[in-house]
Structure 1
Amino acid sequence: MRTRSNGSGSASLVASLVAGIGASVCCVGPLVLLTAGVGGAWIANLTALEPFRPLFVGAALVFLGLSFRRLYLFPPACEPGTPCADPKRLRRQRAVFWIVTLPLLALLAFPWYAPLFY
């Protein structure tokens, strides 16, 4: 049987969230600023990150895949009586995974539905 470390595994969720935000900053950033009433020609400079978008998208998907793998395919094997053996903890981690994943996928898909807002 495989044994794993007792770490929380939230690092891959945080990394995927940061990568997703980085991937969508070129598209969501100007929309948020325009919605807030901030305007100007300098907003066009936010598109300078567009060439890096595929890297951020790839990183976000890799980290989401690692989180899914850890939570669903290979859950940690823990000794009875340790905190990671609690089934409530695994349910909470899975809930947080989906709470992070759904908005992240919406951010990654934003360039496809952005024309509806502009």
Structure 2
Amino acid sequence: MNTETDDKTLKTDSPAWPMVGGVLAAIGASLCCAGPFVLLMLGISGSWISTLAAFDPLRPYFIALVVGLFLWAGWKVYRPLDLCSADGVCSVPDNRRRSKVVFWLTSLIAAILVSSPYWLVWLMA
């Protein structure tokens, strides 16, 4: 194997990709409700903001994607050490601890975004 290309390849056992995907899907799930609120709070207005409500029918699919990606990331973060390769990301204790912290922080962000239609109503009342 060529060591030059091995250094440039992405680690497949890293939980980063499902976590990033989960947060992006959570942003998609909150576009219908939190998107207009955030834009208005930033002073951005216009009639086009109402078009973000078109994402509302897609919300359950985004939520399912968020849950699926975070379940996958959680499995990657908390899997047993014997399933990790010797040179893998999950075999180093500092990387495992950092991955757990990042996993729970991104899970919290995703939960806030996904639940935004419910708590934004109370915030705006």
Counterpart for residue 14 of structure 1: 20
TM-score by length of 1: 0.85
In structure 2, the CA distance between the partners of 1:22 and 1:6, relative to structure 1 (3 Å rule), is closer
Correspondences of 1:1-118 after superposition (within 5 Å): 7-75=13-81, 76-79=83-86, 82=87, 84=89, 85-118=91-124
Q: Which amino acid aligns with 1:110?
A: S
Cα distance in 2 for partners of 1:41, 1:66 equals 39
Number of residue pairs matched by the alignment: 112
Where does the alignment leave 5 or more consecutive residues of structure 2 unmatched?
1-10
CA deviations 1:60-90 (Å, max 9, x no partner) are: 01101111122124454232xx353210111
Identity %: 30
So what's the TM-score if we normalise by structure 2? 0.80
RMSD: 1.8
CA distance in structure 1 between the partners assigned to 2:43 and 2:106 by the alignment: 28
